[in-house]
């Protein structure tokens, strides 16, 4: 069944646009994926999606973040196929509300999803703009009668460099708080997380990203103090990124590409060698029948 999600052959749907006086966001109903975020002068704040590097823009990661070992997971004694980062990013969402400054998309369980994820879920994704801020809120609901395991993550790719001047090497990430904890990286099983950690490259609360940092794939923080950061060149217009509901963070790019993915996560890939049940997977949350969890991510233009 995993190939059914990868080979459905969806055409690129017409993008749905919302706008304030300062920001315009364009979202693709396929995956409810943010494809573009531009300022009042039309300057693009997201990836150029150059196919030499990566054609993604900002996929939503659900029902799991990252890769399961062998692309399968186990629950109630059964194995199910699951593609990396789940299936939501490959599926068409229904549009349930569209106003000039907001839009909401919805994905619900169907026969195809139940074949690989035997739970009745609803995933609503709301985008709203107000002034220089884009607010994104994902709402995950358990509509079934059994406890539901899941994780969720954002995966937006922001321009590197941003269109406000300054070279790529001048761009910094300033975290809300110092981040001295060691990091995780991808290990020797493709897409899985190494059990050993590496020393943090953050100096106090400042990370100076370089292409070389990503030669071995993503940097992953699973011991985070911050729920906010600022991306860009000090003294110029930058992006403030808030993620109050997700405890972990991934940073990723293909070395040399003109984007940096800033990925707030609640969950992550399996550890190298993991053989346990889904409930033993790090970051998996238990959603009781009838319950709902929300995950917010805000992107705001700020000027020093």
Q: What is the pLDDT of residues 87-105, one digit of tens each?
A: 999 999 999 999 999 999 9
Please name the helix (run of DSSP H) or strand (run of DSSP E) that holds residue 5, with its range, or none.
helix 2-6
pLDDT confidence of residue 6: 36
Which candidate, 267, 263, 238, places its Cα nearest to that of 251? 263
Q: End-to-end CA distance of the chain, in Å?
A: 50
DSSP 214-276: GTTS-EEESS---SEEEEE-TTSEEEEEE-TT--EEEEE--TT-SEEEEEEEES-PPBTT--S
- 168 pLDDT tier (thresholds 50, 70, 90): very high
Sequence-distant (≥ 6) Cβ neighbours of residue 119 within 8 angstroms: 63, 109, 142, 144, 146, 148, 149, 150
What is the spatial distance between Cα 128 and Cα 80, in angstroms, rounded to a whole number?
Answer: 35
pLDDT confidence of residue 2: 33
What is the spatial distance between Cα 217 and Cα 185, in angstroms, rounded to a whole number?
Answer: 7
Model confidence pLDDT, tens digit, residues 42-95:
999 999 889 999 999 999 999 999 999 999 999 988 999 999 999 999 999 999
Q: Are 62 and 140 a contacting pair, CB within 8 Å?
A: yes
How many folded domains does the chain comprise? 1
pLDDT confidence of residue 14: 87
User: Taking the model in full, what pTM does it have?
Assistant: 0.94
What is the spatial distance between Cα 149 and Cα 134, in angstroms, rounded to a whole number?
Answer: 29
Considering the chain, what is the average pLDDT of its residues? 94
Please name the helix (run of DSSP H) or strand (run of DSSP E) that holds residue 112, with its range, or none.
helix 111-116
Cis peptide before 63 (omega within 30 of 0): yes
Q: Are 90 and 113 a contacting pair, CB within 8 Å?
A: no
Full residue range of the structural domain in which residue 197 is found: 2-303
Q: What is the mean pLDDT of residues 251-259?
A: 94
- 13 pLDDT tier (thresholds 50, 70, 90): low
For strands 237-242 and 219-221, give the pairing.
unpaired
Q: What is the dihedral of CA 56, 58, 60, 61, to 10 degrees?
A: 60
Q: Are 101 and 18 a contacting pair, CB within 8 Å?
A: yes
What is the spatial distance between Cα 302 and Cα 304, in angstroms, rounded to a whole number?
Answer: 7
Model confidence pLDDT, tens digit, residues 174-213:
999 999 999 999 998 989 999 999 999 999 999 999 999 9
Model confidence pLDDT, tens digit, residues 150-161:
999 999 999 999
Cis peptide before 161 (omega within 30 of 0): yes
Model confidence pLDDT, tens digit, residues 100-128:
999 999 999 999 999 999 999 999 999 99
* Angle, vertex CA 218, rays to CA 196 and CA 118, nearest 5: 90
- 304 pLDDT tier (thresholds 50, 70, 90): confident
**Is residue 214 pLDDT above 80, yes or no?**
yes
Q: Name the region of 66 (left: φ>0; alpha: ψ -120 to 50; beta: rest).
A: left
pLDDT confidence of residue 62: 98
Q: Which of 129-138, 186-195, 236-245 has the lowest mean pLDDT?
A: 186-195
Tokens 């991808």 label which residue? 186
Domain at 192, CATH number: 2.70.98.10
pLDDT confidence of residue 298: 98
- 7 pLDDT tier (thresholds 50, 70, 90): very low
């Amino acid at each position: 069944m995993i190939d059914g999600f990868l080979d459905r052959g969806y055409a690129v749907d017409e993008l749905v646009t919302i706008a304030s006086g300062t920001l315009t966001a364009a979202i693709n109903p396929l995956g409810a994926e943010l494809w573009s975020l531009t300022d009042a002068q039309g300057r693009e704040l997201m990836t150029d999606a150059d196919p030499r590097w990566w054609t993604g823009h900002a996929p939503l990661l659900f029902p799991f973040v990252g890769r399961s070992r062998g692309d399968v997971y186990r629950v109630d004694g059964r194995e199910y196929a699951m593609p990396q980062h789940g299936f939501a990013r490959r599926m068409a969402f229904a549009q349930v509300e569209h106003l000039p400054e907001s839009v909401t998309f919805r994905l619900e369980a169907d026969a195809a999803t139940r074949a690989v994820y035997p739970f009745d879920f609803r995933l609503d994704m709301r985008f709203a703009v107000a002034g220089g801020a884009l607010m994104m809120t994902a709402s995950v609901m358990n509509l079934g009668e059994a406890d539901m395991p899941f994780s969720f993550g954002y995966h937006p790719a922001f321009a590197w460099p941003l269109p406000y001047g300054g070279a790529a090497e001048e761009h910094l990430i300033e975290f809300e708080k110092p981040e001295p904890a060691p990091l995780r990286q991808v290990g020797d099983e493709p897409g899985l997380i190494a059990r050993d950690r590496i020393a943090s490259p953050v100096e106090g609360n400042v990370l100076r990203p370089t292409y070389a940092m990503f030669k071995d794939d993503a940097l992953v923080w699973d011991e985070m103090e911050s729920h906010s950061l600022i991306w860009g060149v000090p003294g110029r217009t930058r992006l403030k990124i808030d993620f109050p509901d997700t405890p972990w963070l991934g940073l990723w790019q293909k070395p040399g590409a003109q984007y940096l993915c800033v990925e707030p996560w609640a969950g992550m890939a399996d550890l190298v060698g993991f053989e346990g049940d889904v409930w033993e997977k790090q970051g998996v949350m238990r959603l009781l029948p009838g319950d709902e969890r929300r995950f917010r991510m805000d992107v705001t233009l700020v000027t020093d």
